[in-house]
Amino acid sequence: MTSSAADPGARTFPLTDARLLRAFVAVAEELHFTRAAARLYVAQQALSRDIRRLERELGAELFLRTTRQVALTADGERLLPYARRVLDAHADLAAAFADPAARPLFVDLNTDGMTAARVLARARELAPTCELMARFESGLTWAAGEILAGRLDVSFGRAAGLDPAIRAGLGIQPVRYEPMALLLPADHRLAAYEALSPDDLAGETVYAGAGNPRTEEWTDFARLLFAEWGVELAPPSPLAIGMAEFQRVMEKSRCPVLCVVDFPPIPGTVVRPLVRPVPLSPLLLVWRKGLRHPGLDALREAADQLGSEEGWMVRPGDSWLPEADASLMQKYT
């Protein structure tokens, strides 16, 4: 609002810096200064300083702070929807005047040689003039934060396992119901089976990334599955970066690893599908809302083409998938 000659007493609001509004929205959604600072990749002290500056500019207290919690004031609640709309408008304005094809599109594949890599390869064929650069961030929990921060553009994974506040800033498209499997040392007792059912796994401990903050959505998914199957999850292991380190840690622990049936072969290991029922990993394409880039269009078209050709979005009858994941896959088809 601005003052006018007709209303000299009207209050004048400053044109608030988008950075301050971004800081406010992060704290409002996290209700925790440390988490909000980590989400924005800034120091907590700098974040607190931005919030105080915004409160001074608006002449209103936006948060109630105690040693135990942070809560929005009535003015904070009133500001939040306006702040979100302003930030969305900033993003739309930047996108409208950018030349999206002039820069590379950064695409996280998690692991090479799997479904996401095939989608990327097809997209490169569909958009040969675009530079689609592969990245390997190892986990959608981590990649989603990188996408919102603008350091990544696209990733693949289980979107239902993300924090709702994070997912709200993302566009998603289902890619595939991926049948799940176990990766086993070749001389493991279960390696002799052609497929593995819940009864076969009695007494086993399965590794699913516990303790890795980058893959929390995958570990959560494994907990849901194995709670029904009566299988124990392996405790956290040292974080292995790269296939060679992963192979070394696996050989040392000799623990079966939860994966999908298309997991690339590793010397000295075998992949055995899980059956009766077939647990499905819900793979989705994920990007930042408002992103416009011909490379993204090519990725989405590539996922549709491959899915149609190979039946990726046909769910097997005897399958297992949590309701939240099933709903998200169906909602966007």
Q: What's phi and psi for 319, nearest 5 deg? A: -140, 165
Domains 101-177+282-331 and 179-279 share a fold: yes
56 pLDDT exceeds 90? yes
Domain boundaries, the chain: 18-96, 101-177+282-331, 179-279
Which carries the bigger pLDDT value, residue 240 or residue 148?
148
What CATH number was assigned to the domain covering residues 101-177+282-331? 3.40.190.10
- Identify the band that residue 333 occupies on the pLDDT scale cut at 50, 70 and 90: very low
CA distances 133 to 59, 107, 185, 269, 295, Å, are 46, 6, 33, 30, 10
What is the DSSP-derived secondary structure letter of residue 196?
B
- Give the residue from 23, 50, 53, 21 showing the smallest Cα distance to 38: 23
Mind listing the pLDDT tens digit for each residue in 5-38? 444 445 555 556 889 999 999 999 999 999 999 9
From the number of C-beta atoms within 10 Å of its C-beta (0-12, 13-18, 19+), residue 49 rates as: middle
Distance (Å, whole) CA 333 – CA 320: 19
Q: What is the token pair recorded at 254?
A: 């000799």
Number of neighbouring beta carbons within 10 Å of residue 224: 15
pLDDT of residue 238: 64
Q: Taking residues 294-310, what's their average pLDDT?
A: 97
Q: What kind of fold does domain 179-279 have according to CATH? A: D-Maltodextrin-Binding Protein; domain 2 (3.40.190)
CATH topology of domain 18-96: Arc Repressor Mutant, subunit A (1.10.10)
Q: Which residues pair with 285 in a beta bridge?
A: 156, 173
Are 100 and 276 contacting, i.e. CB atoms less than 8 angstroms apart? no
Q: Report pTM.
A: 0.68
- For residue 257, list its beta bridge partners: 183, 207
| pLDDT of 232 strictly over 60 | yes
Tens-digit pLDDT profile for residues 92-122? 877 766 666 668 999 999 777 899 999 999 9
Residue 200, pLDDT above cutoff 90: yes
What is the residue-averaged pLDDT of the chain?
A: 88
* Alpha-carbon dihedral 55, 61, 62, 64, rounded to 10 degrees: 130
Asked whether 186 and 269 are in contact (CB, 8 A), the reply is yes
Q: How far is residue 78 from each of residues 72, 84, 248, 258, 301, measured CA to CA in Å?
A: 9, 11, 54, 46, 40
210: which 2 tokens?
């516990």
Residue 148 has pLDDT above 90, yes or no: yes
